[in-house]
Amino acid sequence: MDQKISEAMNDKAITAGKDYSLLSVIELMRVYRVGAVVITDPDKKPLGIITESDVIKAVHESNGNVSMKTAGDVMSSPVICLKPDDTLENASILMSTHRIRRIPVAKDGVLAGLISYRDLTEDLRKTYYMLDEIIEDKANKDTLTGLFNKGYGMEQMRYHFELTKRITTPLALYIFDIDLFKNVNDTYGHACGDRVLKTISHIIKNCARTVDIVSRYGGEEFLISGFVVDADAAMILPERIRKTVEEMIFFYEGKSINLTLSAGVAMWDESIKTPDDLFKMADKALYQAKNGGRNRVVLFK
């Protein structure tokens, strides 16, 4: 918890003067729905704090007659203050040590806000939520290319498959394979091969739509699943990717390398019963593209 208090505090703390009647303070709590009011002097310097517990205690001690009591009579004082640059960890320690749930925050002696136990727990919850997102994101990503990994890509493809049966908008599945990639590794080394994979991944990701799921299936193979209008529309994306790779000149250690890739495309229709069937169709189309001379896109028919 090394975050600054300024990142989590409520900068609109409700204040009252020392001479305010306790009834006025209670009304402020009711109107603004807050559990504490900070008591300040005319220069907005914190003098004390009145919490719901202080009010209950005052009512009990006076047998319910608080009409004559002022804020100064009831407030907790001297007040513990923190600075905006203090850490949330420090706030947590003070709250635990003094058994309090709220601490005024002052900058140069002037009230700047209020930090509460709820603020601390809310900030901690957000931190853990963000951490969970980061961990989940890393678990679903391929470490080399930054694309989704095979597991996530296949999971989303299966989800898309179930969805397409309900919305009747065809799902297109694309499998890409870098042509003669083994020759790149054998000739220029695996460091060059990794650079090629990163470059191709970048091209595929940039060409794909934001709604498409782009993943590295394994080795030099990539997978995209997304919804299209018809077969003609399904061929636009893979052709764009194929042409972009074909026209690119890849340089490595002063040498230029021409790269191409092939793609197999399969489209869902009501005759296709399982996601695995759709994948096998796209894989067969890729096989046809390879056998047909590479550097081409084939739609399964």
Q: Which two tokens stand for residue 101?
A: 């749930």
Amino acid, res. 273: K
**Residue 300 near residue 284 (C-beta atoms within 8 A):** yes
- Class of the 141-299 domain? alpha beta
Q: What is the pLDDT of residues 104-125, one digit of tens each?
A: 999 998 999 888 888 777 766 6
Phi, psi at residue 150, to the nearest 5°?
A: -60, -45
Instruction: Please state, in angstroms and rounded to a whole number, the distance separating the CA atoms of residues 261 and 221.
Output: 10
Active site residues: 220
Residue 129 is predicted with a pLDDT of 57
Distance CA 265, CA 279 (A): 9
Measured CA distances, 121 to 63, 127, 142, 162, 274 (Å): 35, 10, 33, 39, 46
CATH architecture assigned to 5-122: Roll (3.10)
Predicted pLDDT of residue 215: 96
Cα separation of 247 and 258, whole Å? 8
Could you tell me the residue ranges of all domains in the chain? 5-122, 141-299
pLDDT recorded at residue 91: 83
CA distances, 141 to each of 136, 148, 216, 241 (Å): 9, 4, 9, 21
Q: How far is CA 138 from CA 146, 196, 223, in A?
A: 9, 22, 18
Q: Enumerate helices (H) and strands (E) in the chain, giving the number of each.
A: 11, 12
pLDDT at 134: 57
User: Mapped to the 3 state alphabet, what secondary structure does 209-255 carry?
Assistant: CCCCEEEEEECCEEEEEEECCCHHHHCHHHHHHHHHHHHCEEEECCE
Tens-binned pLDDT, residue by residue, of the chain (301 aa): 467 888 888 888 899 999 999 999 999 999 988 889 999 999 999 998 998 888 988 888 888 888 889 999 989 877 788 899 988 878 888 887 777 888 899 999 899 988 888 877 776 666 555 555 555 667 889 999 999 999 999 999 999 999 898 887 899 999 999 999 999 999 999 999 999 999 999 999 999 998 899 999 999 999 999 999 899 999 999 999 999 999 998 999 989 999 999 999 999 999 999 999 999 999 999 999 999 999 999 999 8
As beta bridge partners, residue 297 has 263
The pairing of beta strand 36-40 with beta strand 221-227:
unpaired
pTM of the predicted structure, to 2 decimals: 0.59
Q: What confidence score (pLDDT) does residue 1 get?
A: 46
